[in-house]
Structure 1
Amino acid sequence: MRNRMDADDDLPADAMSHLNRYRTLFETMDDGFCIIEFFDGPNGPLSDYIHVEANAAYERNAGIPNVVGQKLREMVPEEADGWVELYGSVLHTGKPIRFRRELVATGRHLEVSSFRVGPFEDHQVAVLFKDVTDQVRAENALNELNSSLEIRIAEALAEREEAESALRQIQKMEAVGQLSGGLAHDFNNLLAGISGAFEMIAARIAQGRSGEVDRYLAAGQGATRRAAALTHRLLAFSRRQTLTPSAVVVNRLLPDVTELVHRTVGPAIEVETVAATGLWPALVDTNQLENALLNLCINARDAMPGGGRIMIETGNRWLDERAAKEHALEPGQYVSVCVSDTGTGIDKAIIDRVFDPFFTTKPIGQGTGLGLSMVYGFARQSNGHVRIYSEVGQGTMVCIYLPRHRGEEDITVEFQLPPLTEGGAGESILVVDDEPTVRLLIVDSLSEMGYSCIEAADGPAGLKILQSDARISMMITDVGLPGGLNGRQVAEAARDLRPDLPVLFVTGYAENAVLNHGHVEPGMEVLTKPFAIDDLVRRVGRLIRPQD
């Protein structure tokens, strides 16, 4: 079969002119072009086609020469079904199509548009196409590059995460080392004072010089109080101190706090307060908040050796999701208490470390490095947060954020502790504690006041006594007990068996969650170890004989 344009040159002049113009366009166009005609083949009706026309660009784009007269299934038998399906749909529907497909026989990628020529009965379809192999290869290369980049980025991120994890571990170990070193240093000093005082007391008694032991008793007791204060600060940092929160408007605390700060920082420091109007109540342990503010003011004083100004300011804060995220808080309403100074400020290189325990910018021997860590732990345990802002040479501001309390302010009732008198005759107290030394001190001190004491070393033993017919006026129990029952569970069982039984919880490390975060029932109180014997006796007297 030959090209139709060569079929007949015996045409009128005008027709020949149009034909020549078409032939020139047909042969000079860059895109491949052909007309195919379907016929019935061995594979069924219209299952093959033949090329009836094709331009010179066909070979340049498809890579197959002399296609006119060639049948599809003879040219590319392995791919014939796919091409028949594509062009057959154009023939049967009359709808043009555009697609991109690889001609596997020549390895060329073709971008094709196809439409039907004439009615269906002619069985002819026109095909216009161009070779886009270079473009496809470039796209594939780009996709591979992108994929490779994604893999490399993922690997880089994984390496970075691994490096950051290693750095965090190093920092964690550094913090542990700093904490351990600080604890060892401070406790060794305190233990030296306590053990030395006992040795000197023993020596003076052996020498018959008992009149000289008072100074050593005072020294040992002073070291004990400092050890208790140190553990208190550590518990505050670790958020495990016992808190007794109440709903309070912080502005009411400012006069007393300001007076205490004035006495502490000295006359060279000016102390001002700015109390916000309409301040919301906050649910907070007022004693611990006062301690935190005093710590912040002492730090501010130390940052102003030549004098300056301390500002204590309160305010209501609304934190949306973005602001709350920046402050590591839940969105909502907060009460802020800020302490600012006009001191030396803190370098940005170390400001992220100021809340670490035992980290201090002060010279050796000046400060333990626990003040800010205590403030941080107290704020977090109170469901709030603390933020620090500082500029070198300009000063520092530390803000404590406390959640707003939805409700009325609590009315504070001052209780007077009963005097130390021997009034325990006829009263029997159950003492449950797994530490023999603590039981000894409690029992001996209460026995001297006329109380009768029953001892139990764990929860089950205490519960067994409660289930007996023994007369019990009150129970003193440690919170962390062995034997499967903690102090809170023993107290609950005691109240089931003996309603309204007074209970005094004593605890060595403030199991705050066990104690419902400081919220205990009426007739119950919490005493934190180490405690003064006088405080213990007064608490017992108050619980056994409550004020009317």
Structure 2
Amino acid sequence: MLDPSDHFQTIDASEERYRLLVESISDYAIYMMDSAGTVMTWNAGAQRFKGYSADEIVGQNFARFYRPEDQHADIPRRNLRVAAAEGRFEDAGWRVRKDGSQFWAHVVIDRIVDASGRVIGFAKITRDITERKQLEDALRTSEQQFRLLVKGVTDYALYMLDPQGNVASWNAGAQRIKGYEEAEIIGQHFSCFYTEEERRAGEAEYNLDIVRQKGSVEREGWRVRKDGSQFWAHVVIDAIRDEHGELLGFAKVTRDITERREAQLQLDQARNALFQSQKMEAIGQLTGGVAHDFNNLLMAILGSLEIVSQRMPHDPRISPFLENAVKGAQRGAALTQRMLAFARRQELESGPVDIAETVSSMRGIFDRVLGPSVLVRSQIPSGLPAALTDRAQLESALLNLAVNARDAMPAGGSITVSAEERAVPTDAGGLKPGRYIVLSIRDEGEGMDEQTLARATEPFFTTKGVGKGTGLGLSMVHGLAEQTGGRFVLDSKPGEGTTAELWLPVAGDDAAPAPVTEEAGPPAFEPKRILVVDDDALVLLNTATMAEDLGHQVLEATSGKEALAKLRSHPVDLVITDYAMPQMNGGQLASAIETEWPHIKVIVATGYSEMPEELRGKFERLGKPFWSHDLKAAIERTFS
């Protein structure tokens, strides 16, 4: 039979173990209070983070652990009332240590009742969670700062989408860029920012599908504001997932880069223009070089043909072929002039040109050349200022443009020639600031596509059949415009015709057409001692022979250095020199002669317009290729 005393000993041992357990806990303050809140027990954890020993705190009211303002508000007694009434009270708040420092505590107060249900006290468990609160506060502050940061950003639209693509958040940048207030857009599907065409094509959902699969997508394209206007956007969409990989939604970043795109397009256009300019310059250099060499060949051919024609009697079996050869060479000479015009190396005689009078004087030529199926209309206002250009070259350019317009209208049509004055305030399109006459020729023809238009002014490029065009007509017009300080612009679309604009600078107010004067008759003929200088043996032979046939005494030299040596040992009245020679060109030779032998006259022969400005007017210029009568006239002008 069990002894009752053993039972009580067992209970006492169990309670002792429980007491030891509670008193040894150091991470929690566990203690008992009576029904008034007086501390009755105290464990190691309470002593560790509240600072009181058991002797100091047992018998004291637990209200001293509260801050003065909480005590004044009667919070300690209120908490006990809640625990007594509800059985339990749980809270977190600031508590006070013995040294006056504060800590953030998590508190649980449980009521203790006797067998009759009467409250006889409370069990209180307190834990110091200051570090956790500091972390939570730091996290909350960080989240608030981040939220404020996102909300305050105005250069980017930063917002969230739910898994279905509906707008879940909205920042100031989104409102500024897209125009929607937050209340207007939250809950709306983000496809409303896409263009109508992209919505029909399902572009918005397609992008979200990519993000679901790959995690992110980046796009550029047109997006639509609330008012319907469009902007060019750079867009990034990222998937947001929880720790288990479940999709929570999407983060979307949009930036308006319309200005940057326009700047890039302008830069690309400028680069293309520069490339085109460099290409045309390179082609011009090549064309000019070919034209120079071709000019020398034509000089040799035409000169030789002329000499043969003069020295042989007329023979019906031979003479027609000589004349045919001359005509062929002359056509070649005209071709080189067009090539030089494109290369901007032909000699221009620029002066004030009345555009209205020039176009009017060409009506008869237009009628004969263009034929009855083409009607030419003129829309040139009266009082238009004179343009500064070479009239002969301008007439040739107009005729070329008119012929091109006619060829673009196989069934006939009308050509409109118009002109107006325009001002260029700043450097634009290669034009210097100033006033310009814009001469336009517009047709109703087939027009050109972009590829054809881009190559239209290239030399030898033509859309006409074989033998129906040299491909130099527009090149010549381009060269004329560039050389006179203007520009040539073509505007054309397939089926809408072509408009060619020739921009020419307005002649200065003090400029006036040179008065026409009667030329004095040539002086009495006197044979001269002439030194002919040319690095091309074929041209040298012909020029020397022409001069001899005119009755002059002739010496020959193949370089500037050889010419100077002969001048030091032979008396000479006149030097006829080619301009484009290696080592010492004709201009340098002429200047050396002027310095050492100022009495010797100089004629510079060239097919170029490359003589420096300071030499123009100082020496007589003889254009290549030339005939005997051209040489005779130049010699007479030199000694007049």
TM class by smaller structure: 0.5 to 0.7
Residue in structure 2 matching 1:398, options 481, 496, 500: 500
The answer to whether 1:27 aligns with 2:92 is: yes
Deviation track 1:365-392 (CA, whole Å, cap 9, x = no partner) reads: 3212211122112211222111112344
Corresponding position of 2:637: 542
- 1:242 paired to 2:295: no
Measure how far apart 1:295 and its partner are: 0.6
After superposition, the Cα gap between the structure-2 partners of 1:60 and 1:366, relative to the gap in structure 1 and judged at 3 Å, is farther
Give the drift of 1:426. Answer: 3.4
2:83 is matched with none
Q: Distance in 1 between matches of 2:78 and 2:613?
A: 98
> 1:326-380 CA deviation, whole Å, 9 max, x = no partner?
x442333212211122333223442222112222222333212211122112211
- Report SS of the residue matched to 2:62: coil
2:361 maps to 256
Match of 2:131 among 53, 59, 62: 59
Does the alignment pair 1:449 with 2:550?
yes
2:377 pairs with 1:275: no
Listed one character per residue, the Cα deviations across residues 56-81 of structure 1 (whole Å, up to 9, x for unaligned) are 77534666xxxxxxxxxxxxxxxxxx
State the SS of the aligned residue for 1:377.
helix
Match of 1:524 among 595, 619, 636: 619
Q: How far apart in 2 are the matches of 1:387 and 1:310?
A: 17
- Structure 1 residues 367 and 471, CA, compared in 2 at 3 Å: closer, same or farther? closer
Structure 2 residue 557 is the aligned partner of structure 1 residue 507: no
Within the candidate set 461, 466, 469, 1:359 is matched to: 461
Q: Given the alignment, which residue of 402, 410, 420 partners 1:315? A: 420
1:499 deviates by 4.5
CA RMSD of aligned residues (A): 5.1
Change (3 A) 1:429 1:416: farther
Residues in 2 aligned to 1:17 and 1:5: alpha-carbon distance in whole angstroms: 23
Distance 2:524 2:541 in 1: 20
Which of the pair has more CA radius of gyration?
Answer: 2
C-alpha separation between the residues in 2 aligned to 1:19 and 1:298? 107
Check if 1:389 corresponds to 2:491. yes
Matched, 1:15 2:110: no
Partner of 1:41: none
Aligned mates of 1:133, 1:57 — CA distance in 2: 24
Verify the 8 A CA contact 1:390 1:396 in the aligned structure 2: yes
Contact 1:423-1:449 at 8 Å conserved across structures: no
* CA-CA distance at 1:14 after TM superposition: 5.7
In structure 2, relative to structure 1, the CA distance for the partners of 1:516 and 1:428 (3 Å cut) is same
CA contact 1:443–1:453 (8 Å) conserved in 2 = yes
Which residue number corresponds to residue 426 of structure 1?
527
Distance 1:34 1:360 in 2: 98
Question: Stretches of 4+ moved more than 6 A in 1?
Answer: 1-8, 19-22, 131-136, 415-419
SS state at 1:212 partner: coil
Q: Aligned-pair distance for 1:267?
A: 3.0
**One-letter amino acid of the counterpart of residue 591, structure 2:** E
Structure 1 unaligned regions, length at least 5 = 38-49, 64-107, 113-127
Matches within 5 A, 1:59-208: 59-60=131-132
- The CA deviation at 1:447 is 1.3
Per the alignment, do residues 455 and 268 of structure 1 end up closer, same or farther by CA in structure 2, a change over 3 Å counting? same
Q: Structure 2 counterpart of 1:458, which letter?
A: S
Verify the 8 A CA contact 1:292 1:374 in the aligned structure 2. yes
Contact 1:347 1:392 in 2 (8 A): yes
Contact 1:9/1:16 (CA < 8 Å) preserved in 2?
Answer: no
The aligned counterpart of 2:252 is none
Alpha-carbon spacing, 1:449–1:62, altered in 2? closer, same or farther (3 Å)? same
Partner in structure 1 of residue 580 of structure 2: 480
1:27 match: secondary structure? strand
Partner of 1:87: none
Higher RCO structure (Cα 8 Å, ≥6 apart)? 1
Structure 2: any 5+ residue segments left out of the alignment?
1-46, 80-88, 106-127, 159-215, 221-233, 235-256, 258-263
Task: Give identity over the alignment, percent.
Answer: 31
TM-score by length of 1: 0.63
Secondary structure, aligned partner of 1:359: coil
Which residue identity is paired with 1:53? F
Q: CA deviation at 1:213?
A: 1.2
How many angstroms apart in 2 are the aligned matches of 1:20 and 1:285? 110
1:17 partner amino acid: D
TM-aligned CA deviation for residue 218 of structure 1 = 1.5
Distance 1:14-1:61 versus aligned 2 partners, 3 A rule: closer
Does structure 1 residue 533 correspond to structure 2 residue 533?
Answer: no
- The partner residue of 1:336 within 438, 450, 453 is 438
Could you tell me the TM-score, scaled by structure 2's length? Answer: 0.55
Shift of 1:4: 7.1
Deviation at 1:217, TM superposition (A): 0.7
Flag the 1:383–1:411 CA change in 2: closer, same or farther, 3 A.
closer
Deviation readout 1:188-234 (Å, 9 max, x if unpaired): xx99xx89x99xx99xx9xx995411121122112211222222222
Is the partner of 2:468 in helix, strand or coil? coil
Give the C-alpha shift of residue 296 in structure 1. 0.6
Amino acid at match of 2:445: G
CA contact 1:62–1:131 (8 Å) conserved in 2: no
CA contact (8 A) 1:272 1:310 kept: yes
Instruction: Please name the residue that 1:90 is paired with.
Output: none
Q: Quick one: distance in 1 between partners of 2:351 and 2:599?
A: 23
Matches of 1:490 and 1:34, distance apart in 2: 109
| SS state at 2:74 partner | helix
- The offset of 1:21, in angstroms, is 9.2
**2:586 counterpart letter in structure 1:** G
- Give, in angstroms, the shift of residue 258 of structure 1: 2.9
Indicate whether 1:301 and 2:406 are aligned: yes
Q: Is the 8 A contact 1:34 1:51 kept in 2?
A: yes
Partner of 2:5: none
Distance 2:78 2:535 in 1: 112
CA contact (8 A) 2:523 2:636 kept: no
Compared CA separation, residues 431 and 417, structure 1 to 2 (3 A): farther
One of 331, 342, 346 as aligned partner of 1:226: 331
Following superposition, the deviation at residue 238 of structure 1 comes to 2.2
Give the letter for the 2:547 counterpart: L
User: How far apart, CA to CA, are the structure 2 residues paired with 1:61 and 1:460?
Assistant: 99
Distance 1:15 1:335, change over 3 A: same
Opposite residue 483 of structure 1, the aligned amino acid is Q
Residues 1:26 and 1:475: Cα distance change in structure 2 (over 3 Å)? farther
Measured at CA, do residues 502 and 60 of structure 1 come closer, stay the same or move farther in structure 2, by a change above 3 Å? farther
- Separation (CA, whole Å) in 1 of partners of 2:90 and 2:507: 86
